[in-house]
Amino acid sequence: MRPYRAPWWLPGGHLQTIYPYFLLKRRPPPYRRERWATPDDDFIDLDWTHEREEHAPLVALFHGLEGGSGSHYASALMRATARRRWRGVVIHFRGCSGEPNRLPRAYHSGDAAEIAWILQRLRALNPAIPIFAAGVSLGGNALLKWLGRAPASSRATIDAAAAVSAPVDLMTAGDLLGAGVNRLYGHHFLKTLRAKSLAKLERYPGLYDADVVRKARTLREFDNVVTAPLHGFLDTDDYWTRASSKPDLAGIAVPTLIVHARNDPFLPGHFLPAASEVSASVTLDFPEGGGHTGFASGPFPGNLDWLPERLLAFFSGRIPA
């Protein structure tokens, strides 16, 4: 698999992040939606593709903050799995499939327990096929958290994993999203996060202070009043510290690929883990360009083929004989 090189006509981490989102996003492949009840009487929605090949390898994707099966990276990966005649499924975190979830809790960057039961159920339903898990951004951090914290059970559940643009150091990434031009990304995320949180107050009055939610201008402020207390953390600092996956990377036992651009505006290269900080099961791929979840390639106007092919090439080499 050729190494990633950002196109000469797409300079800078910010442009490489934004360009694919607005100009290379394609219509998602045909999906079949399935709803699962959660162990705590909530629900999640899964979008399946290419199910005719029931004995083919399965790629399960966990999306990023406020993402879903329509996100540019999800569409690109699911189309690539279909081209290989593999099966694919995009797992929506609670509240991200277009319908509010039932409980006060939603999802967060360190939700390893949620990752565990989903992948273990997929394994129980598909005991005889290779299962590969991929996580992008927030989903990547949560996946890495589970892999590092549960090496034995993860090895028994999946055959390989990949994390893309995962904010493994949440304290750094969160604070960078609240500074300079990165605040534009934070405002983008906050638009839907605020709306969902205020709507939840109609079902659970007094869950948190609506005025504070409305006034939140950074993810730090939002997480302090909503995400942290709803998911068992004291405050934003406690959440970002405990949910970061970087301290757990040395415990990973499943073959795992981590792809992260050094010019990612959310977590630049000098904050990324060194080879000495990860286990021997982890392959690090840190290209100079690519932005955050971007990785556009090819001649103008570009395409999103490199990242899916990088992940699927890695997975192909981990299919049991």
Condensed to tens digits (0 to 9), the pLDDT of residues 244-294 reads 999 999 999 999 999 999 999 999 999 999 999 999 999 999 999 999 999
Q: In the predicted model, is pLDDT for residue 53 greater than 90?
A: no
Percent residues over pLDDT 90 in the chain: 91
Give the pLDDT of residue 179.
87
Per the CB < 8 A criterion, the answer to whether 288 and 261 are in contact is: yes
Residue 176 has a pLDDT of: 94
Report the C-alpha gap between 170 and 155 in whole angstroms.
25
Cβ-based neighbour number of residue 252 at 10 Å: 25
Query: What SS3 state is found at 42?
Result: coil
55 pLDDT exceeds 90? no
Is position 159 annotated as part of the catalytic site? no
- CATH (domain of 46): 3.40.50.1820
Same domain membership, residue 76 and residue 146: yes
**Residues sharing a CB contact under 8 Å with residue 315, sequence separation 6 or more, in sequence order:** 57, 59, 130, 132, 159, 160, 162
> 307 and 186, same structural domain?
no
Segment 194-214 shows an average pLDDT of 96
Are both 154 and 200 inside the same structural domain? no
Residue 141's domain comprises 13-169+244-316
Q: Rounded distance, CA 41 to CA 43, Å? A: 7
The active-site residue, picked from 111, 159, 248, 264, is 264
Residues 127 and 26 in one domain: yes
Mean pLDDT of 29-43: 97
Confidence (pLDDT) at 225: 97
| 185 and 310 co-located in one domain | no
Q: What's the pLDDT score for residue 181?
A: 87
Q: What percent of the chain has pLDDT over 70?
A: 100
Q: In the 8-state DSSP scheme, what is residue 250?
A: G
How many residues are listed for the chain in this entry? 321
Residue 63 has pLDDT above 80, yes or no: yes
CA–CA gap between residue 231 and residue 125 (Å, rounded): 28
**212 plus 156 within the same structural domain:** no
Residue 264 bears catalytic tag: yes
Number of domains in the chain: 2
Q: 143, 135 in Cβ contact below 8 A?
A: yes
Provide the residue type at 108 as one letter. H
Co-location of 163 and 99 in the same domain: yes
Residue 6 lies in a domain: no
Of 242, 260, 291, the residue at which a domain comes to its end is 242
Mean pLDDT, the chain, as a whole number?
Answer: 96
| pLDDT score for 321 | 72
* 266 and 145 in a common domain: yes
Asked if residue 97 and residue 161 are part of one domain, the reply reads: yes
Active-site annotation holder among 137, 165, 244, 281: 137
Distance CA 37, CA 108 (A): 19
**Does the structure show a pLDDT above 80 at 157?**
yes
Distance (Å, whole) CA 93 – CA 5? 31
* 164 shares a domain with 232: no
Based on the fold, state whether residues 254 and 228 are members of the same structural domain.
no
- Cα(89)–Cα(47) distance, integer angstroms: 5
**Catalytic residue list contains 292:** yes
Ramachandran assignment for 206, one of left (phi > 0), alpha (psi -120 to 50 degrees), beta (any other): left
Q: What is the CA radius of gyration of the chain?
A: 18
161 φ/ψ angles, rounded to the nearest 5 degrees: -145, 160
